Structure formats: structure tokens, C-alpha cells
């Protein structure tokens, strides 16, 4: 029944021989091995049919050709659509109307008053918003008697009345 002798059993060292299955399980395992070897021998003895491979390659090529054809057709349709719409786009633009040229004369503004106001503002040693801080600086530089008298002086408030 077993046409292939168990060559691995003879090559095993003595301690691994003890690990081999025994009893009914060993017999079932040998039967399984022999069935697998017979099936493998039978399959390798038959010629491999290549007809299915040719048919599969042909189907794959035709599907690829269809995809290429579909994309090229879509591209050609898009190009024809763009070329066909060019004359419509040219006529869609309204003709440019002649625009009247309006002669605008420049308005002369006298800037002397503004320049005088800027000169006065720039020439001030301390701006009006910082004047209270300037008086504080004067307090620290004067003697203590002047400081006491200036502290009792009424304070000027920058409030619109």
C-alpha cells in the first residue's frame, strides 16, 4: 500500500524516533501521506492544458482595448466640443462701445493754512496732550519749596466744557 518508504524515519536520530506517532494515529498518518504522494504523482503525469490561459489572456486584452477605446472616445468628444464652442464664444462678447473722454481739470487747493498748523504742532517742545507730564518733570527738578507751592495750585483738567 505504501509505495514510498519512510526515508525520514531512518535518518532520524534515536531520540527523535521516539517522538514519531504510534498506534492507530501513526497508521492513519501513513495512509494520508501515501494518498497525497499518489495524487501528486498522478497530477504530474498528466499534461497541463494551456488552452484556458490563452482564453484568459485574450479576455484581458479585449477588456484593456475597451478601456483604451472608451478613454480615447471621451477625449475626442471633449476636444470636438471645445472646438465647436469657439465660434459661439466669439459672438457672445458684446462689441466694445466708444467711450467718451472727459477732460477733468485739476482742482487747486491752497494748503498754506494746513502747512502753518503742522509747523506750529511740530515746533512745540511738548505736545498739548503731554503737557501735564512736563509739569511733573518740572516739579522734580525744582527745590522742595517750589514743589509744595505747586502742589497746592489748582490742577488744570483737559475736559471740554
Q: What is the pLDDT, as a whole number, of residue 62?
A: 96
In a domain, 142, yes or no: no
Residues near 135 by beta carbon (within 8 Å), at least 6 away in sequence:
150
pLDDT, one tens digit per residue, over 1-37 is 455 555 555 566 666 666 777 888 889 999 999 999 9
In a domain, 32, yes or no: yes
| DSSP track, 45-61 | HSPPP-HHHHHHHHHHH
* Average pLDDT score, the chain: 76
In a domain, 30, yes or no: yes
Higher pLDDT, 72 or 21: 72
In a domain, 15, yes or no: yes
Residue in the structure block whose three cell numbers are 527745590: 143
In a domain, 73, yes or no: no
In a domain, 17, yes or no: yes
Residue 24 domain boundaries: 7-45
Sign (positive or negative) of CA dihedral 117, 123, 129, 132? negative
Number of compact structural domains in the chain: 1
Higher pLDDT, 108 or 16: 108
Q: What is the pTM of this model?
A: 0.29
In a domain, 22, yes or no: yes
| 3-state secondary structure (DSSP) of residue 124 | coil
Contact 34, 1 (CB under 8 A): yes
Mean pLDDT value of segment 43-51: 79
In a domain, 104, yes or no: no
Amino acid at each position: 500500500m505504501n509505495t514510498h518508504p519512510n526515508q525520514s524515519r531512518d535518518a532520524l536520530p534515536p531520540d527523535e524516533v521516539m517522538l514519531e506517532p504510534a498506534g492507530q494515529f501513526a497508521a492513519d498518518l501513513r495512509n494520508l501521506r501515501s494518498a497525497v504522494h499518489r495524487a501528486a504523482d498522478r497530477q504530474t503525469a498528466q499534461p497541463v492544458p494551456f488552452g484556458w490561459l490563452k482564453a484568459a489572456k485574450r479576455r484581458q486584452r479585449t477588456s484593456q482595448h475597451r478601456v483604451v477605446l472608451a478613454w480615447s472616445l471621451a477625449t475626442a468628444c471633449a476636444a470636438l466640443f471645445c472646438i465647436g464652442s469657439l465660434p459661439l464664444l466669439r459672438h457672445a462678447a458684446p462689441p466694445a462701445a466708444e467711450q467718451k473722454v472727459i477732460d477733468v481739470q485739476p482742482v487747486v487747493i491752497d494748503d498754506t493754512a494746513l502747512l502753518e498748523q503742522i509747523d506750529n504742532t511740530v515746533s512745540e517742545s511738548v505736545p498739548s496732550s503731554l503737557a501735564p507730564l512736563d509739569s511733573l518733570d518740572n516739579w522734580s527738578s525744582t527745590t522742595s519749596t517750589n514743589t509744595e507751592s505747586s502742589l497746592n495750585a489748582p490742577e488744570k483738567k483737559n475736559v471740554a466744557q
